Structure 1
Amino acid sequence: MAGSIETGSAAPEFVLHGGVLRDGEFTRGTYLLDAAREHPLVLAFYPQDNSSVCTKQLCSYSSGLEQFTKLGAEVWAISPQDVESHEEFARTNDLRMPLLSDPDRTVAKLFGVAAPGVGLRRSVFLIAPGGRIAWKHVALVGLTWQPLEKLTAELALL
């Protein structure tokens, strides 16, 4: 794994396919980082749909989505699974943030969180308006995640 992108650096541009569950409809689309540069963005890299730790993490973020929204932020979650897997994962757990597919781990590599054997490291990047990495956490072991309270406290500082 290459080193993780540094805080203060410009977030690398990317385009990924994904979808979001709203009012029972899973809407597929293309997500461009460049289109989200006007407001704070939380990028949560997670290893796998439907795993126990990933499910707990994303359910936590989804149930607290209004707290992110109050701070003007969007939350995008990225993993290697395809969009079909993401749709099932979102429907099963009522996940309300976009789930993006990075099957060849191109974006994970850009952010320095691709890991041989496990796919990617559980990581969170807070991207400030304008596209600068304002804060990050890259887990060495993916059994824990950054809680909603920590992320919203860091977002409040932007």
Structure 2
Amino acid sequence: MKTRWITMLTLSLFNWGPVAGQLKVGDKLPDFQLQDQNRQTFHLKNELGKGPLVIYFYPKDETPGCTKEACSFRDSFTSFQDLGAKVIGISSDDIASHKKFAEKYRLPFTLLADEGGKVRKLFGVPKSLGMTGRVTYVIDNEGKIIHLFNSQLQATKHVTEALQAIKKS
């Protein structure tokens, strides 16, 4: 049991692959709906076919790593737009927290409130270091995962990984 826990922790910290139960490359995304920072309903099925999607799960608004990650996505937002991609961040924070976070850091992309963690569970996003994992999925027009990056500690690398995956597809 101890060895399994160490293996799972290592995988999620340093991106050595998905953990058991986590969606993986080639899987089709399950449909979901959540509220964004502006109280608008985001429905996955309405976004498919409009270009690549980058869906990134992060632990919490206003924490150092999550702020660096969000600002890195913000700073590269034009590159994502140029590739026709939409960026979506998801955490268990509520709508008000997302609104404040987005306004404070001028985040030009969608933040979704997954307060009960149901979408995180649908994706099988693992926990690491006692908090929600930091996982980025790149999705094609048909809703299939073409790339995933799972690393709690390399917050800003999620952006470069996503951009490279979109450019390759």
Task: Judge conservation of contact 2:56–2:136 (CA < 8 Å) in 1.
Answer: yes
Q: Does 1:157 align with 2:143?
A: no
How far is 1:114 from its partner? Answer: 4.3
Q: Is the 8 A contact 2:95 2:112 kept in 1?
A: yes
1:151 to 1:116, Cα distance in 2 relative to 1, 3 A: closer
Counting only pairs closer than 5 Å after superposition, residues 57-72 of structure 1 correspond to structure 2 as 57-72=69-84
**8 Å Cα contact 1:105-1:119 kept in structure 2:** no
Return the offset for 1:129.
Answer: 0.6
Q: Which has more strand, going by share of residues?
A: 1
Q: Closer, same or farther in 2 for the Cα pair 1:14/1:119, shift >3 Å?
A: farther
What is the correspondence of 1:49-60 to structure 2 with a 5 Å cutoff?
Answer: 49-60=61-72
Q: What residue is the counterpart of 1:148 in the other structure?
A: 159
State the secondary structure of the residue aligned to 2:40. strand
> Unaligned 5+ residue runs, structure 1?
20-26
Are residues 1:6 and 2:24 paired? Answer: yes
Describe the shift of the 1:127–1:153 C-alpha distance in structure 2 as closer, same or farther (beyond 3 A).
same
Tell me the amino acid that sits aligned with residue 82 of structure 1: D
Tell me the equivalent position of 2:139. Answer: 127
Write out per-residue CA displacement over residues 65-84 of structure 1, whole angstroms, 9 at most, x where no aligned residue: 11001111000000000000
Aligned alpha-carbon RMSD (Å): 1.6
Instruction: Give 1:16's match in structure 2, choosing from 34, 42, 62.
Output: 34
- Indicate the structure (1 or 2) with the bigger Cα radius of gyration: 2
Q: 117, 120, 131: which is aligned to 1:105?
A: 117
Give the structure-2-normalised TM-score. Answer: 0.82
Question: TM-score, length-normalised on structure 1?
Answer: 0.88
Number of equivalenced pairs: 149
Deviation of the 1:63 alpha carbon:
1.5
List gaps (5 residues or longer) in structure 2.
1-18
* Residue matched to 1:22: none
